[in-house]
Structure 1
C-alpha cells in the first residue's frame, strides 16, 4: 500500500462530544486539502461513536463525512485506521464516503517512508490489560449483530454513555505509555522509518535510537494539531485557518534514506 506525498495525518476528533467550533475547524481543514495534499490518513476516533445500521447512521458529523467525500472526489485518497471509538465502520464509509477503512495496523509506503500506523489502543502493558481482554468481544461480528437489533436511539444513547470515561480520559503519564510502546516498536524493528500512534491525545515527534521516527498527531478534541509528511521530513502542525498552518515541530528524514526517495 502506498500513500502519496504530502500525506496529512490527524486523529482523535471525537465528533459527537467535540465542540461545534472544533467540527467547523475540521471541515475548513478538509476543504483546504484538494490541490494541496497527496493523501490523508485518519488515525482513529474521528467519531466518539460510529455504527451502521441497515438504513441508518449516527446523525453526528454528517457534514464532516460530506467534506471527506468531497476530498475523495477531488482525487485525494483517504485512509481511515479504526480506533477504539469508531471500530464498527462498514459500507457507508467505504462505498458512500469512499475512504479506505482499515482494521488493525496499516503498513506501507507513506509519502516515501516505510511506515506503520495504528491507533494505539491496547498497547500499554499493565494499564491496558482489561481493555485488551474485552476488545475481541466488542469487535466480534456477533456483538455487532446483537447491537444492530437494538432501537437506533436507544443503542446510540447506550454507546455514547459508555464511552464517556475513555473520551474524557487524559493519561496520567501525559502519554508516556504510548510513547514508550512506540519507541520500543521502532527499536525492535529498524526497518520501520515512521511509526504513527494516536489515542493518547498527546502530540509529538521523536527520533528513536534506530533513526526511525515516532509521531503522534495529537487530538483535534484538545487542539487542532496534525502531521504533514513528505519525502524529506515529518512536521507537527496546528491548524490556524491558513493553508499551511502553524508549524510546531519537525524532524528531517535520515539523509541516507531521503536520498533514496528524491
Structure 2
C-alpha cells in the first residue's frame, strides 16, 4: 500500500472500555471518539491493536450492551472509505464475525505483516508472544477452546458478562497484564520476541499493544520496536507518515 501524500496511518491499543465500570470508563470513551473524529481528516488507515473492550463476547444474537459511540464512529469512518484493521487482544478475543459483518472491519487473531511505502510492519496485540508467560498461555488455550466457548455461550448474558467482568478486573493471570514498568530489554518479552523474528527476516517496525507502557526501542539493523501504551493512563498512539513512525499523546 502506498500512502497518499498528506495522509497518515494511525495506531492505537488498550482502551479497556467498560473497566473498571462502564460509568468510569465513559469519559475515556468520549476522549477516544474525539480522537477518531480528529484523525479521520487525514487517515489513510487505522489500526486498533486489541483490548478495545475490557470484555467482549458475541452470542448468536446478542453483543455486549454499550459502547455505541465508539461503534458508531468506527462505522462512520469505515463507511467513508477509510480502512480499519482490528487485532483481538486477550480481553476481546471472543470476536466472531460482528465487526466484519456490521462494520466491514477485518479482525485478526494472529500477528500480521503489512507493507506501507516499502516499509515492513509486523503488527500484533502482543499477548502470549515470546518465550515466557506460560501461565497466561495455558489460560488462553482454555479460553479459546471450542468446548469452553460453547459452554460459556449457554450462560445467560447477564450472568456471563458479570462473571467475565469480575475475572477481567481481579485476576492478573487471566488478564495477562503486568505492572506497567519497563523491565529492561533483556526481560521485556515482546522485545525478545521481536529480536528473534528479526533474525528470521528484516522488518522495519514491530508494533504492539498489551504492555500498557509507551515504548520505542532500537533493535538494530534499522529496525524499531514500538509499544502503543494505552488509553487509560497515557492516551498514546502511533503515527506513520509514509517514512517515519512517531509516538504521540492525545490531550
TM range (shorter): 0.7 to 0.9
> Is the counterpart of residue 204 in structure 1 residue 226 in structure 2?
no
8 Å CA contact retained: 1:120, 1:178:
no
Do 1:51 and 1:89's aligned partners in 2 also have CA atoms closer than 8 Å?
yes
2:136 is aligned with 1:125: no
5+ residue gaps, structure 2 = none
Q: Which piece of structure 1 moves more, 130-139 or 34-43? A: 130-139
Distance 2:154 2:118 in 1: 44
C-alpha distance 216-222 of structure 1, shift in aligned 2 (>3 A) = same
Unpaired runs of 5+ residues, structure 1, are 241-262
List aligned pairs for 1:129-148, cutoff 5 A: 129-148=134-153
Whole-Å Cα distance in 1 between the matches of residues 127 and 176 of structure 2?
Answer: 15
Contact 1:202 1:219 in 2 (8 A): yes
- SS of 1:79's partner is strand
Taking structure 1 as reference, are residues 26 and 111 closer, same or farther at Cα in structure 2, changes over 3 Å only? farther
RMSD across aligned positions (CA):
2.1
State whether structure 2 residue 192 is matched by structure 1 residue 181: yes
Query: How many correspondences in the alignment?
Result: 238
Choose the corresponding residue for 1:171, options 179, 187, 193.
Answer: 179
Aligned residue number for residue 6 of structure 1: 8
3-state SS of 2:113 partner: strand
Please report the TM-score for the alignment, with normalisation by the length of structure 2: 0.87
List 4+ stretches of structure 1 deviating above 6 A. Answer: none
Preserved CA contact (<8 Å) 1:33 1:71: no
Structure 1 length as normaliser, TM-score?
A: 0.84
